[in-house]
Amino acid sequence: MAEEDFTAATIEMYGQIFQKPKMTEKLLKKPPFRYLHDVFTATMKATNFGKGLFEGHMLDSKGITEKDDKLKFLTHLITLTELVIGEELDVKPQKIVTGQDPEKTNMFL
């Protein structure tokens, strides 16, 4: 898949759901954890997807600073998504946290 293709679909889809955080090609090419967290919480507010899955500091991207907490958050979110779509995703939380495989991260989104 061409580089511009893997971000375009993500931008188009989320652009219909919320305005902030802004979906940009630059951020989606190597999405930082905080940005991904903000995308999830904006989606949750707009659609109730994942509501009740996280509590307390896990709902505040500024409060998730430890790598283990980031991995836990992403693992829960990936598992939820797999349950909803009924198939296993080819994405690893460790790779997302380190900014690797942005194409797979965008497919996950």
What tens digit of pLDDT does each residue of 85-104 get?
999 999 999 999 999 999 99
The count of structural domains within the chain is 1
In terms of pTM, does the model score above 0.75? yes
* Per-residue pLDDT tens over the stretch 54-79: 888 899 988 899 999 999 999 999 99
- What percent of the chain has pLDDT above 70? 96
Element containing residue 96 per DSSP (H, E): helix 93-97
Place of tokens 């989104």: 109
Whether the predicted pLDDT of 1 surpasses 50: no
Residue numbers of the domain that contains 48: 3-108
Assign residue 33 the CATH number of its domain.
1.10.418.50
